[in-house]
Amino acid sequence: MNFFSILIALLLEQYRTVSSQAKVFALFDRYASSLDDLLNSGERHHGIAAWVLAVAPVLLVFGTLSLLSGWLGAGLGWVIDVLVLTLVLDFRSTLNRLSTLQADLRHMERSQVAERLGFPGVTAPALPELVARGIELAIVDIHSHLLAVLFWYCLLPGPTGALLYLMALRLNQIWGSETQTDFGHFSRTAFYWLDWIPLRLTALAFAIVGNFEDSLFCWRTQASGNRAALRIVLASAAGALGIRLGDASSPNRLYGGLDLGVGEAPDMDHLRSAEGMIWRTLVLWLLIIALMTIAAMVGG
């Protein structure tokens, strides 16, 4: 039933308000902050305890519901899966941001667009930098809030996999900053390993639906052996689109002055190309999940 749950959740997500998702995430963030205040003494073992206390209650609740749904009938589990996925997936708003950026670049001053995209400083960046930032944000969001979530949803029972990944992502953002003490070491390590396979599957999907040779070349030469894991999907996406992301000459790059990709600097048309690549990637993933679902139904 994985494929049908995902498909219905993606359809329902078109009608979900952004604020409802933000409220749930903010509630979890406040809970994580309270654990930080309570347990953070800068020690690694305290970070492990806090991570487990943050994640375990949610997984226990939904794991129990998934188990009960097996006894009471598949219908209840299916409803829970759809509701959770509808709340946590983020596809529509990512595409909307790309479309909005296209309109903003046509009708607004570059300084205003730069402020919306989070560029620091007062100097308005050039158009290619603004486009690159918008594409980077979309690529990272599609990986972190759609494709990686779907991978873990299909791997673990019920919605526990999707929730595990998203909680690990947010705990890494809150506690795993490199500027923090050893308290965040476990959150960094846990998320690194949870994201290891999804990152590479996302990069491979971009290569398949885009320029395969350039994508693999950029992945292999510009992101291999680098613990800054998001370089993998950004390098693959840049190669797949035939553009360069992250002007290394700019101090204001989102991901540390990246210089990724091959070909030309991005322009307005590449925003539409990025949107098309994201759509093709989702269709590819849905096709694979559908085949897996059919195989499981036939085998069962």
Tokens of 128: 């290619």
- Structural domains in the chain (count): 1
pTM over the 0.85 mark:
yes
Instruction: Name the residue range of residue 137's domain.
Output: 2-299
What was the pLDDT predicted at 248?
A: 60
What was the pLDDT predicted at 260?
A: 87
What was the pLDDT predicted at 228?
A: 61
What was the pLDDT predicted at 83?
A: 92
pLDDT digits (tens, 9 = 90+) for 231-275: 899 999 999 999 998 766 665 565 656 688 888 889 899 999 999
What was the pLDDT predicted at 120?
A: 67
What was the pLDDT predicted at 122?
A: 59
Q: What is the pLDDT along the chain (300 residues), one digit of tens a residue?
A: 688 999 999 999 988 888 888 999 999 999 999 998 898 887 889 999 999 999 999 999 998 888 887 676 656 788 889 999 999 999 998 999 899 999 888 888 888 888 888 776 657 788 888 899 899 999 999 999 999 999 999 999 889 999 999 999 999 999 987 555 788 899 999 999 999 999 999 999 999 999 999 999 999 988 866 456 888 999 999 999 999 987 666 655 656 566 888 888 898 999 999 999 999 999 999 999 999 888 877 875
Of 17, 1, 5, 51, residue with least CA distance to 191: 51
What was the pLDDT predicted at 31?
A: 95
What was the pLDDT predicted at 85?
A: 95
3-state SS of the chain is CHHHHHHHHHHHHCCCCHHHHHHHHHHHHHHHHHHHHHHCCCCHHHHHHHHHHHHHHHHHHHHHHHHHHHHHCHHHHHHHHHHHHHHHCCCHHHHHHHHHHHHHHHHCCHHHHHHHCCCCCCCCCCHHHHHHHHHHHHHHHHHHHHHHHHHHHHHCCCCHHHHHHHHHHHHHHHHCCCCCCHHHHHHHHHHHHHCHHHHHHHHHHHHHHCCHHHHHHHHHHHCCCCCCCHHHHHHHHHHHHCEEECCCCCCCCCCCCCCEECCECCCHHHHHHHHHHHHHHHHHHHHHHHHHHHHHHHHC
